[in-house]
Amino acid sequence: MKTLIKNGTVVNSTGTALADVLIDGETIAAVLSPGSRLLGFDVESNVDTVIDARGKYVIPGGIDAHTHMEMPFGGTQASDTFETGTRAAAWGGTTSIVDFVVQYAGENVIDQYQKWHEKAAGQCAIDYGFHQILSDVQDSSLTAMDELVAEGVSSFKLFMAYKGVFLSDDGQIVKAMQRAATNGSIIMMHAENGSVIDLLVQQAVAAGNTSPLYHGLTRPWQAEEEATHRAIMLANLTGAPLYIVHVSAKQAVDQIAQARDTGQNVFGETCPQYLYLSLEDNLGAPGFEGAKWVCSTPLRAKAEGHQHHMWQSLRTNDIQMVSTDHCPFCMKGQKDMGLADFSKIPNGIGSVEHRMDLLYQGVVDGKISLERWVEVCSTTPARMFGMYGRKGVIQPGADGDVVVYDPNGHTSIGMPETGRAKTHHMNMDYSAWEGYEIDGHVDTVLSRGKVVIDQNAYLGAKGDGRFIKRGLSQYLI
């Protein structure tokens, strides 16, 4: 099966050019400049499918390196399965995810890793990799880290919050970091001071402050800055590369920037919610509405200027990439567990379908360049997590993961109860992005050479997606 995507504007992180892209089987075979036609190469008559991308961008498929499909969490389970979540991702121009294997205290890491393979195998619409969560860091967890690196799982997430659920103490963190420093893997950190947050939550609830807004007010930026700083110091001590997940506070960005200025391998990821949504407008919505946007780190106060700083840090590379932290819960039966107490609201927002669009809107709004869009959504995730070459770039030899994006198209995000057609495919009974209008449209999505989205039709199937055996990070200084 050969496919030619012709007349499009190919956008890589390194530049933009008019070119035709030839995909042979699962792999990009050639990127042909218009001049090659003048030289007499007749590619078109030798292919099975031709996609005309005139006036459209041809970009490497999105890579969402932070998702939680069907994760057991907060007394329930994330509402998207590997099947529904990866299909929704494909709809939004994302052709790879990296999800998290969960290890709760007392569980065996390798057992959990195998369980996650069983959950995902044969279910996914697009390719998927795994990071491994470590909570308690047992001796067996350390040997498991080496085994997992050999399996293609070269990144480990630790938590400085969620005591009794995920939290690792500083000693455990250092142990895992020491191991990462020797086996070449990267430590991902949920950087919030959990003890301080637990105290503030207890005090708020005792005082009768139980609405969703207090989720944000009890997780202040100081708790994020402090934990980010501590994580950076522990990484410095051990020599482990460090990647801070879901950065929302500008003060945490500054910690990362400072560390990078000293040459330390420290990186930061932010998420669309921290670029667009806020404590005032969303968490503070009337009644229980704010529950829709309860996630950690929390949405921050607009008045404090985090959002502006976050867009800027995407431009300056103080923050390197954007993932969603896709962790969806329905309002009915899940978020509403916290009706009487915000601390019982399961933490998470669903955005896996909208990341490419929401960040493209940043291009339209003049906040990032076209090439930077591709870089933060695809190329850097590939390099950061050891997939570059196969993923994250349009070049011969790369997987045929390609999106045709129409800058003259339009995407409305919404749900039926508000009078709109349901315009998302995630398994959620609401949209965290209700009412967002995007000046662009995902037209065609190819996953390893197969067209999975064609305009408004899904042509893929569950089980199309394969496990990505990742190498070590290709982003280290």
Q: Which residues bind ligand URP (CB under 6 A)?
A: 68, 190, 246, 295-296, 325, 327, 347-348
**C-alpha span between 55 and 61 (Å, rounded):** 18
**C-alpha span between 447 and 457 (Å, rounded):** 14
- Minimal distance, residue 68 CB to ligand URP, in Å: 5
Is 146 or 169 the residue whose CB approaches ligand URP more closely? 169
Is 211 or 248 the residue whose CB approaches ligand URP more closely? 248
Q: What is the DSSP letter of 97?
A: E
Kindly report the number of other CB atoms within 10 A of residue 71's CB atom: 24
Is 32 or 381 the residue whose CB approaches Zn ion more closely? 381
Tokens of 43: 């590619």
Residue 295 site contact among Zn ion, ligand URP, none (CB < 5 to 8 Å, cut-off depends on kind): ligand URP
**C-alpha span between 451 and 473 (Å, rounded):** 29
**C-alpha span between 172 and 327 (Å, rounded):** 26
Residue 443 site contact among ligand URP, Zn ion, none (CB < 5 to 8 Å, cut-off depends on kind): Zn ion
Closest residue by beta carbon to ligand URP? 347
Look up residue 317 and give its amino acid.
N
- Stated as kind and residue range, the H or E segment containing 149 is helix 139-151
Contacting positions for Zn ion (CB under 5 A): 190, 325, 406, 409, 441, 443
- Minimal distance, residue 468 CB to Zn ion, in Å: 18
Is 243 or 430 the residue whose CB approaches Zn ion more closely? 243
Residue 347 site contact among ligand URP, Zn ion, none (CB < 5 to 8 Å, cut-off depends on kind): ligand URP
- Minimal distance, residue 325 CB to ligand URP, in Å: 5
- Minimal distance, residue 73 CB to Zn ion, in Å: 9
Is 192 or 464 the residue whose CB approaches Zn ion more closely? 192
- Minimal distance, residue 189 CB to ligand URP, in Å: 10
Picking from 149, 144, 152, 234, the residue whose alpha carbon sits closest to that of residue 189 is 234
Contact present, 416 and 97 (Cβ < 8 Å): no
- Minimal distance, residue 409 CB to Zn ion, in Å: 4
Residue 269 site contact among ligand URP, Zn ion, none (CB < 5 to 8 Å, cut-off depends on kind): none
Look up residue 360 and give its amino acid.
Y
Contact present, 80 and 88 (Cβ < 8 Å): yes
| Residues facing residue 57 across a β-bridge | 9, 405
Is 190 or 292 the residue whose CB approaches ligand URP more closely? 190
